[in-house]
Amino acid sequence: MSDKLVQPLNPPRRVLMGPGPSDTHARVLAMLGAPTVGHLDPYFLTVMNEVQGMLREVFETKNEMTLAVSGTGSAGMETCVVNLIEPGDKMIVCINGVFGGRMADVAERAGAQVVKLERPFGEVFSADEIAAAVKQHNPKVLGIVHAETSTGALQPLEEISKVVHAAGCLLLTDCVTSLGGVPVKVDDWQLDAVYSGTQKCLSCPPGLAPVTFSARAVEVIEKRKTKVRSWYLDMSMVRNYWGQSRAYHHTAPINMNYAIHEALRLVLEEGLTARHARHKRNHGALKAGLKAMGIEYAVAEGFQLPMLNAVLIPAGADDVAVRSQLLNEFGIEIGGGLGPMKGKTWRIGLMGETAQPRNVLAFLAALDKCLLDQKVNLPSGAGVAAANAFYRGA
């Protein structure tokens, strides 16, 4: 035996108020420690069926090809892109943040002719500019981010979906941060390929990527002339494991599927409408508190994500020092800005289990203390008072 045996892990307790992961319910964590069975065990096949059924409810879709990809949200992105794109296909990618940029990179690696439609970080796209772009370029696929985690911007999709489909294109959508926090109406909005992640508003540890494909998208996959450029993410094979034939493809992460099963049960137990309202209510309280402190949002009114609040760092505040103090003194994690927003914004997450009044009030009080310690001249105590006033009136 080694004299320097590695010590057992003892992770610290944090309040996860960053861009993800979010806090995880004890019932979900318990499933990670449940007995593991085989990936073709009849019990696990039942679990898979139930996960599919619940994902359809949360996605608000009847799509047959709806499943949990073995991998994080970025694997979901790759799944949607590589299954729809063949080398030489034209794809418009809308970039107004880090994850639109990542989608463009993935599409280029898949062999697409990528047309980048760009707006400044924090802004959103209009249906008119999308219509002009698809008319000019006639792409096979248009990719867009519904909830841009890097900026806190919520992209309206209904009108964009209409103009994309009128042009005969497929609409591929990133719903990593939005699913479970705001409405994602796959069928009503006619979204063709959608991917998400487990660790945001579903409040499950990272490790799976829910995806869903419309019948139109499945037809495109079935008519491919070339093999999908990823064996692992090839839906023409993976669908056979999740479908009736149960053909072996890869060993699924058994206990992670237990975990998402329980996370989805919690979502549906609460009800989608109530869950969306809870996110909105706690966002409203946080926003009221921050406004009373003199802290402004980085995204225009009407396009702010309730679950990912990107705010401008007040003058005189040290970005890294505040985030470090929040973490080390109060056990609260928030995120810094990315790309051109680095050093200019904080990203405050209220996702899933984290979206609770106790976390909003604790964060506002802790932030007050951090800013006081840095002698930032903002009205002390006003944030908690304003949030409490909002809750009383909400």
| Domains recognised in the chain with CATH numbers | 26-269 (3.40.640.10), 272-393 (3.90.1150.10)
Q: What is the mean pLDDT of the chain?
A: 97
User: Quick one: three-class SS letters along the chain?
Assistant: CCCCCCCCCCCCCCEECCCCCCCCCHHHHHHHCCCCCCCCCHHHHHHHHHHHHHHHHHHCCCCCEEEEEECCHHHHHHHHHHHHCCCCCEEEEEECCHHHHHHHHHHHHCCCEEEEEECCCCCCCCHHHHHHHHHHHCCCEEEEECEECCCCEECCCHHHHHHHHHCCCEEEEECCCCECCECCCCCCCCCCEEECCCCCCCCCCCCEEEEEECHHHHHHHHCCCCCCCCCCCCHHHHHHHHCCCCCCCCCCCHHHHHHHHHHHHHHHHHCHHHHHHHHHHHHHHHHHHHHHHCCCECCCCCCECCCEEEEECCCCCCHHHHHHHHHHHHCEECEECCHHHCCCEEEEECCHHHCCHHHHHHHHHHHHHHHHHCCCCCCCCHHHHHHHHHHHHC
- Let me know: does 179 contact 202? Beta carbons within 8 Å: yes
Report the percentage of the chain scoring pLDDT > 70.
99
Q: How far is residue 178 from each of residues 198, 201, 297, 323, 383, measured CA to CA in Å?
A: 11, 7, 18, 24, 26
Q: What is the pLDDT of residue 246?
A: 87
What's the pTM?
0.96
Q: What is the pLDDT of residue 60?
A: 98
Residue 316 φ/ψ region, left for φ over 0, alpha for ψ in the -120 to 50 degree band, beta for the rest:
left
- Position 126 pLDDT exceeds 70: yes
Among 7, 60, 74, 15, which Cα is nearest to 359's?
15
- Segment 329-377, tens digit of pLDDT: 999 999 999 999 999 999 999 999 999 999 999 999 999 999 999 999 8
Among 85, 104, 106, 109, which Cα is nearest to 94's?
104
**Which residue's entry shows tokens 């590589």?**
82
- Position 244 pLDDT exceeds 60: yes
Among 360, 363, 348, which Cα is nearest to 388's?
360
- Segment 17-35, tens digit of pLDDT: 999 999 999 999 999 999 9
Rounded Cα gap, residues 70 and 26, in angstroms: 22
pLDDT band at 2 (very low <50, low <70, confident <90, very high): low
Cα 393 off chain centre by: 30
- Position 392 pLDDT exceeds 60: yes
Q: Tokens standing for 161? A: 């979906």
- Segment 298-340, tens digit of pLDDT: 999 999 999 999 999 999 999 999 999 999 999 999 999 999 9
Calculate mean pLDDT across residues 127-139: 97
Report the percentage of the chain scoring pLDDT > 90.
96
**Which residue's entry shows tokens 């979900």?**
28
- Position 1 pLDDT exceeds 60: no
Q: What angle do CA 274, 279, 284 make, to 5 degrees?
A: 120
Among 155, 139, 163, 146, which Cα is nearest to 77's?
146
Phi, psi of 171 (to 5 degrees): -110, 115
Q: What is the pLDDT of residue 42?
A: 94
pLDDT band at 245 (very low <50, low <70, confident <90, very high): confident
What residues contact residue 336 under an 8 Å CB cut-off, 6+ apart? 319, 320, 323, 342, 343, 345, 346, 347
Among 200, 124, 119, which Cα is nearest to 158's?
124
- Segment 156-215, tens digit of pLDDT: 999 999 999 999 999 999 999 999 999 999 999 999 999 999 999 999 999 999 999 999
Rounded Cα gap, residues 212 and 286, in angstroms: 33
The bridge status of strand 15-16 relative to strand 332-333 is parallel
Calculate mean pLDDT across residues 143-151: 97
